[in-house]
Structure 1
C-alpha cells in the first residue's frame, strides 16, 4: 500500500455518514467516500440509510457504491450468487437514486488464491455481469479485492474499475502482483475510533487513495439518461442539419452518410482515407460548421463504462456503409480495413516488432488484444468501436436513420448488451471463417490491401505477413496469431451469454 500515512482524498466506511461526519470528512481533505448498498441485517449501520447520500452530496463530497454480502469465504463465490448479488445491487442502487452508468464495486473480501480464480471468483463476476444485463445494464460492475482478484476480474469479466484492498498486506493476492491498470481506489489504512464531535460520535474509517482521472464517483442523484445521452443528442442535431443541407444542395449522399463524414473528417479524412472509402463532402462540412457543429471526440459507453472514440466509431461505420461486406464468408474488403482490419494490421506490426517478448502470436493476442486496462494498438475500446460501427452501418444500409439506430443501440433499445454476439454472427459467422478472415486481411493480394499494409505494417518497420508466411515455420506462426484474434472475438461474444 506504500506509505499508509500519506494524505488521501478518499475513504470508505461501514458507518452512516450524517451531516457532522460529512462536514468532518470534507474539512479533512476527503473528496469521495464509499458506502455499502446492502446489508443482510437491515438494522445494521453498514447499509446506506434514506437521505444519507443527499447528505454526502450536500457537503460537497462524492460517493462510490460498494456491494458486499459477507464475502469472506471461497464457498460464497459462484455464478448464481453473483447473479443474485447483481439483482440486489441494481434494486438498491435504483432505490437510492444512483444514476445510470455508475460503477458498483462488488467485493471479494478474503485472500482468494490463483487456483480459485477461474472456478469461483471469475464465475461469480460472470454472474454479476449477467445479473446487471438482465436488468438492462443500468449499472457497470467494478471489483473490490486484492490486486490479483482485481486483475482477474478485469481481464476475464471486463470490470470497469478496481478498488484495491491494499491495506491487506498479508494477502497473497497482493504480494508480487502490480496494481491493476484500471485501479481507481487503493485502500491503504484503517483508522478506528475517530472522534468526530457533535452528532458524529466515533467512527471507523478506511483511508483510500483516489486516483486522478479514474472513476469520478457519483456527484448527483436520480439522473436517468443513458451515459451516452450527449452522443445521441449530438447525432440527432447533426442528422437534422444534414437533412437541411440535402434540401438546399444537390447530393446523392444520405443524411446518415453525411453525419458519418462530419464526425470522422477531422481525424479520419486524410488522403489515405480518401483512397480507402472516398473523400468527405467538404461543402457539407463547411455548412455544418457554419451551423455551430463541432467534432465530438468521445462519449461514455453505457455497457462497459469506458470512453469510446466517436471519430473512430463513425469512420468505421462510414467504411462499412460504403463498402458492402463480401458474400464469401472467408473474404475481406476495404470496409473491413476501415474497421477491424486496419486495427488488426497495426496490431500485427506491433507483434512483429515485439517478437523477442512474444514469439507466439496467440500469446501476444492473449496478453494484449482487446484487454480492458491494457495499453495496446488494438485495445478493448477499439474492438467496441469496430463492432458498434459495423452494426450502425448495417442498420443504416437497411434503411434505419443513423440517429434512430444510435438511440436504439446506446439507449433503452439495449443493442450494446449483445454487440459482440451480433458482430460475430453478422460479420464473422463461424470461428473457422473468423480465422480465415484474419489471415486474409494480412495476406490478401489486392491494391487497397497492399496500400494499407504498406502504411500500417511496412512503414512501422515490421516484416510483411506474406514474407513471414513463406518462411520456414512462418505459416504456423501466422496461423497462431490469427487464432488469437478468433479466440478474442469468440470470448467477447461468449461473455454476453
Structure 2
C-alpha cells in the first residue's frame, strides 16, 4: 500500500473537508475526549468521508505526566472512547482508537503506570463488546513507549510523536516500525483564504494505520 499524507487537528474540519482533499490530504486525525468541542462529531465524520478523506481517532485528555496513568483511568478512558466510537460515530469494526501518552516517559513509567493504563483499556474494550472487541488499540507517543507497548502486546498500532528528542524516537522512526508518524506543526491555507495550524502526519506504506470512513 502507498504512503499517504494527513494531518491532525483538535478542532472541527467539516467546512474545510473538500479543500483539504484538493490539497492532496488523504486523511485526518481527530479526537475523542471529555470535551465535546474538541471531539469528532458524526456530522464531521460524514463530511470528511464524503470528501474522500479517511479518518483516524485518538483519545487524549490529560496524559502528559506519569501520575495520570493507572488501571482505573484506563478502564474509564477505554469505556468512554469505545462508547463514542460505537454509539456516537458508528466507527467501523477493525479500525483503531489511539490513546495518547503525550510526554517523554521513562521505561519505569512505561512498564508500570502506563502499562496498567493500557491493560485497563483492553479490559474496557472487552467488557463493552462482550469479549469480542471491535476496535484495535493504538498508542501515540515516544519511540520507547510505542516499541515497549507493542512488544508487550498492550497495543497493536503505534503513532510516533513529532518530538524527535523523546527516548527511542529517532531509532523508531528510522526502523519504520510505526503505523503513523507525526511531523512538526505547520500552517496550510484553506478555501476561505485563512490558515489552519495543524500537525502533518503520514502513514507507513507497509502497515495499516487503522483509518476508516463512514456512510
Q: What TM-score do the two structures reach when normalised by structure 2?
A: 0.88
Aligned pairs for 1:129-278 within 5 A: 129-136=122-129, 137-165=133-161, 167-177=162-172, 182-192=177-187, 194-198=188-192, 201-212=194-205, 213-221=207-215
SS across alignment from 2:116? helix
For residue 49 of structure 1, report the CA deviation from its aligned partner: 2.7
Deviations 1:149-188 (A, max 9, x none): 11111111342211110x2122234255566765211001
Query: Is contact 1:129-1:157 (8 Å) kept?
Result: no
Instruction: Answer 1 or 2: higher relative contact order, Cα 8 Å, separation at least 6.
Output: 2
Higher fraction of helix: 1
Taking the aligned partners of 1:178 and 1:32, their CA distance within structure 2 comes to: 20
For residue 146 of structure 1, report the CA deviation from its aligned partner: 0.7
Query: Is contact 1:57-1:220 (8 Å) kept?
Result: yes
Structure 2 gap ranges (5+): none
Decide which moves more: 9-18 or 174-183.
174-183
SS across alignment from 1:105? strand
Partner of 1:266: none
RMSD: 2.1
Higher fraction of strand: 2
Aligned pairs for 1:33-48 within 5 A: 33-38=28-33, 40-42=34-36, 44=37, 46-48=38-40
Match of 2:9 among 13, 33, 40: 13
Query: Is contact 2:172-2:178 (8 Å) kept?
Result: no
Q: 1:202 to 1:15 in 2, by over 3 A?
A: farther
Q: 1:128 to 1:181 in 2, by over 3 A?
A: farther
Taking the aligned partners of 1:81 and 1:65, their CA distance within structure 2 comes to: 19
Partner of 1:87: 79
Query: Is contact 1:78-1:124 (8 Å) kept?
Result: yes
Taking the aligned partners of 2:210 and 2:97, their CA distance within structure 1 comes to: 12
Aligned pairs for 1:342-357 within 5 A: none
Q: How many residues align?
A: 208
For residue 130 of structure 1, report the CA deviation from its aligned partner: 0.7
Query: Is contact 2:97-2:137 (8 Å) kept?
Result: yes
Aligned pairs for 1:296-311 within 5 A: none
Q: What TM-score do the two structures reach when normalised by structure 1?
A: 0.40
Taking the aligned partners of 1:88 and 1:159, their CA distance within structure 2 comes to: 18
